[in-house]
Amino acid sequence: MSTFSAIRIDKADKGTSAAYTDFDEADLMDGDVMVRIAYSTVNYKDGLAITGKSPVVRRFPMIPGIDFSGVVESSTNPSFKPGDSVVMTGWGMGETHLGAYAQKARVKGDWLVPLPPGLSLSDAMTVGTAGFTAMLCLQALEAHGCKPSDGPAIVTGAAGGVGSVAVSLLKKAGWHVIASTGRPEEADYLKAIGADEIIDRKELSEPGRPLGKERWAAGIDTVGSHTLANLIAQTKYAGAVAACGLAQGMDLPSSVAPFILRGVCLLGIDSVMCPKDKRITAWARLARDLDKSALAAMTTHVPFNEVMNVARDIVEGKVRGRVVVDIG
C-alpha cells in the first residue's frame, strides 16, 4: 500500500466531517496524469466544502481542494511527461473528482494547463481559481467592448480572493477602480493593490431602486443578491457587469429596467468548465499582466495543517486576498 497525506470528507450523521488522513494511492480516481502537488489555495468554495455549509461535495469520500500547482510524476497522456510543471483549476476537482488537499492527485491531462512562463508554482497558486476567474471577468468585459475611457470600474468583495486580483488586473488594464468592501480597515491594502476609491459595501447590499444614478461603466461582482442588483442598476448606459460569485446570496432581486432602458449587459462567468483554449489564453495574460508586488501583497502562505482553520475563516469573510497552501 502506498499512502499520502490528504484531507478527507466523509458523510456524517449530521452533514459531513473533514479530517486529515493517510489516503491510499490505489483509491485515487481515474486519470492519465499523476501529479505531485506543490501548492494549493483556500477558495470560498473550499471553505463551503470543508465546513459543509453548502452541498459542494457530490461524491464521498472526497478530498477537497479545487486547485493546485505541481509537477507531473507519471503520465500516459502524450501532452505531459514526468517533470512538467502544471496548473489545475476546476473541472469538478474537490466536488466530484478527488481534489487538491493532498500530496498527490490523478487527473485527466486535458484538464491541466502547463505552468505559464513567468510564473513560479507558488505564483500560480497565488493566482489560483480566484485570480483565473478575475481574469475571465476582465476578458468578458473587454470582449463586450468595455474600455477604461468609458468610466470607472467597480469590484465588489474587493478584499476577498477574486476581488483582490480583479482590482489589480483592472488597474493594470488602465481602469479607474472603485473597490467595494465591508472592511474599511483594508483601505490601505486595497489602494496598494490598485484601488483608486473605496466605498462601503453597505451602499450596495440593501434593497435598492430598479434604476439609480449612473456611477460605473463596468463591474466585477463576487457577491450576488442585492449587491449585484444595485451594481446593475447603477451601471452607465451600454455598460456591463461580469457576475461570478454569491458571497451575499444566490438570489438576484433585480428588474429588467437596466437592460431595456440602458442596454446594460450581465455577463455570467464560470471558471469550472471553462474550455482549455480560453484557460491557456487567460493564464498567459495573468503571467504577463499581474503585478508581482501586488501579488505578494495579497498573499498569505499557510502550511497544509492550517487549511481547516482558514476554511472556517473564509466562509466568515475573514480572509484577506489569497491564501496559498504549501503542500509539498
Binding ligand NDP (rule: CB under 6 A), the pick from 159, 193, 220, 325 is 159
* Distance of closest approach, residue 261 Cβ to ligand NDP, in angstroms: 26
Nearer residue to ligand NDP within complex by CB, 151 or 163: 163
* Distance of closest approach, residue 246 Cβ to ligand NDP, in angstroms: 4
The beta-strand segments (E) located in the chain are: 3-11, 16-24, 33-41, 67-75, 85-89, 104-107, 113-114, 153-156, 177-181, 197-200, 216-221, 235-243, 265-268, 299-303, 322-326
Binding ligand NDP (rule: CB under 6 A), the pick from 16, 69, 168, 271 is 271
Nearer residue to ligand NDP within complex by CB, 80 or 189: 189
70 binds ligand NDP (CB under 6 A): no
The residue whose grid cell reads 491594502 is 189
269 binds ligand NDP (CB under 6 A): yes
43 binds ligand NDP (CB under 6 A): yes
Q: What binding mask, one character per residue, do residues 84-123 give for ligand NDP by CB under 6 A, x or -?
A: ----------------------------------------
CA distance 16 to 97: 17
162 binds ligand NDP (CB under 6 A): yes
Helix (H/G/I), strand (E/B), else coil: 269: coil
HSE-CB at 202 with a 13 A cutoff on CA atoms is 3
* Distance of closest approach, residue 31 Cβ to ligand NDP, in angstroms: 22
Stretch of residues binding ligand NDP (CB under 6 A), selected from 41-49, 56-64, 72-80, 110-118: 41-49
The helix (run of H) or strand (run of E) holding residue 69 is strand 67-75
CA distance 300 to 125: 11
CA distance 152 to 180: 13
130 binds ligand NDP (CB under 6 A): yes
Which amino acid makes up residue 133? T
Nearer residue to ligand NDP within complex by CB, 130 or 177: 130
CA distance 46 to 52: 10
* Distance of closest approach, residue 26 Cβ to ligand NDP, in angstroms: 31
The beta-strand segments (E) located in 28-66 are: 33-41
Nearer residue to ligand NDP within complex by CB, 141 or 162: 162
Burial class of residue 240 in the structure, from the number of CB atoms within 10 Å of its CB (0-12 exposed, 13-18 middle, 19+ buried):
buried
Binding ligand NDP (rule: CB under 6 A), the pick from 319, 324, 325, 327 is 319
Can you say how many angstroms the Cα of residue 38 is from the centroid of all Cα atoms in its chain? 18
223 binds ligand NDP (CB under 6 A): yes
Instruction: Specify whether the CB–CB gap between 170 and 194 falls below 8 A.
Output: yes
CA distance 155 to 167: 7
224-253 binders of ligand NDP (CB under 6 A): 227, 244-248
* C-alpha distance from residue 13 to each of 16, 19, 96 (Å): 8, 15, 21
Stretch of residues binding ligand NDP (CB under 6 A), selected from 15-23, 57-65, 256-264, 311-319: 311-319
Residue nearest to ligand NDP (CB): 160
Note the residues at the interface with ligand NDP (CB under 6 A): 43-45, 129-130, 133, 157-163, 181-183, 201, 205, 222-223, 227, 244-248, 269-272, 314, 317, 319
